[in-house]
């Protein structure tokens, strides 16, 4: 656990009118100290649309963070994107977290099931 972990959500939609999903990029660290704020923040930006949650910019994601992402996945239309060179990629694989390597694949999944 890190002390005073900080994360940032970035609404990465370049053209909200033409997309069916909100693209949200997360950077920084998510751990037990900020996981509740992280969950609330993700849900707040959904705008009643599915969310593509881009986690490639995270430097740290502890077990509380993984559990929060898992709950978000179980609760609704959220697709996780995590690039192979991400610092949390290997841990996500070990945790069996379902994710895609790129945003285009995630959008395709949301559009066509």
Note the pLDDT tens digit of each residue in 9-48: 877 765 555 567 889 999 999 999 999 999 999 988 877 7
Local structure of 65: helix, strand or coil: helix
d(CA 2, CA 25): 21
Query: What is the 3 state secondary structure string of 11-61?
Result: ECCCCHHHCCCEEEEEEEEECCCCHHHHHHHHHHCCCCCCEEEEEEEEEEE
Note the pLDDT tens digit of each residue in 56-101: 999 999 999 999 999 999 987 799 999 999 999 999 999 999 999 9
CATH number, domain 19-112: 3.30.750.24
Residue ranges covered by each domain of the chain: 19-112
């Amino acid at each position: 656990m890190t002390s005073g972990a900080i994360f940032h959500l970035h609404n990465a939609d370049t053209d909200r009118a033409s997309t069916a999903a909100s693209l949200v990029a997360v950077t920084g660290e998510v751990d037990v100290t900020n996981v509740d704020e992280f969950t609330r923040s993700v849900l707040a930006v959904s705008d009643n649309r599915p969310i593509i949650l881009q986690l490639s910019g995270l430097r740290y994601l502890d077990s509380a963070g993984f559990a929060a992402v898992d709950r978000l996945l179980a609760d609704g239309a959220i697709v996780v994107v995590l690039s192979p060179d991400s610092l949390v990629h290997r841990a996500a694989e070990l945790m069996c977290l379902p994710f895609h390597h790129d945003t285009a694949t995630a959008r395709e999944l949301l559009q066509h099931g």
